[in-house]
């Protein structure tokens, strides 16, 4: 794991994210756990949330005094909560949706990306970071590097339940 990932894990533990949000099954996801983060990458934590007002109260009580604290609740069919704030040198984003965390798109994208990195190795990590620094989001950067056609977000979801061998076959590798 990278130094930045270790620092992020230390921060999450120091501010009690895993303890305070334990009832919401928090998982650290995104680019840091798979080592394709760049200097501006934030810490992403996903949670399973049924009671969004209770989730908001807990976040406000514990992190409302953090720099740039922001909370919003989408009142649409997706029904998700989003909390952002800055703590020390990191931006944090805590996302809550009433879906088990390992079925949420953020986790599924990360799992697909992790498998693709097994195929692409260190060269893929370096080139994906370069693509991200040029302004691409993570999923489009993976799509460009691996020459995936179509919607990059959907393509990664398609790969999330596949094995590395199945992905290699799908990519004709």
What are the pLDDT tens digits along the chain (173 aa)? 788 999 999 999 999 999 999 999 999 999 999 999 999 999 999 999 999 999 999 999 999 999 999 999 886 666 799 999 999 889 999 999 999 999 999 999 999 999 999 999 999 999 999 999 999 999 999 999 999 999 999 999 999 999 999 999 998 87
Domain boundary (101, 129, 146) is at 101
Instruction: Domain count for the chain, please give it.
Output: 2
Residue 112 in contact with residue 60, Cβ under 8 Å? Answer: no
* CATH of residue 47: 3.30.460.10
pTM above 0.85, yes or no: yes
Question: What pLDDT shows up at residue 74?
Answer: 82
d(C-alpha 53, C-alpha 4), whole Å: 32
Strand segments (E) across the chain = 27-29, 43-48, 67-73, 80-87, 90-97
Structural domain including 154 reads 106-170
**Contacts of 67 by beta carbon, 8 Å cutoff, 6+ apart:** 85, 86, 87
d(CA 40, CA 42): 6
Residue with tokens 């007002």: 53
Same domain, 11 and 94: yes
Same domain, 120 and 95: no
Measured between alpha carbons, how far is residue 61 from residues 22, 56, 58, 96, 112 in Å? 15, 8, 5, 16, 35
**Cα–Cα dist 144/164, whole Å:** 19
Which of 101, 119, 139 is the endpoint of a domain? 101
């Amino acid at each position: 794991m990278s130094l930045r990932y270790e620092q992020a894990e230390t921060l999450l533990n120091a501010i009690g994210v895993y303890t305070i949000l334990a009832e919401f099954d928090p998982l650290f996801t995104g680019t840091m756990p798979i080592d394709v983060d760049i200097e501006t990458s934030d810490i992403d934590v996903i949670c399973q949330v049924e009671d969004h007002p209770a989730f908001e109260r807990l976040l406000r009580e514990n992190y409302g005094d953090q720099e740039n604290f922001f909370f919003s609740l989408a009142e649409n069919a997706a029904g998700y909560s989003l909390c952002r704030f800055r703590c020390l040198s990191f931006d944090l984003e805590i996302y809550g949706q009433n879906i088990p965390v390992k079925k949420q798109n953020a986790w599924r994208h990360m799992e697909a990306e992790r498998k693709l990195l097994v195929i692409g190795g260190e060269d893929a990590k370096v080139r994906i970071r370069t693509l991200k620094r040029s302004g691409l989001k993570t999923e489009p950067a993976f799509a460009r590097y691996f020459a995936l056609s179509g919607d990059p977000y959907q393509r990664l979801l398609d790969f999330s339940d596949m094995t590395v061998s199945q992905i290699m076959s799908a990519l004709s590798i």
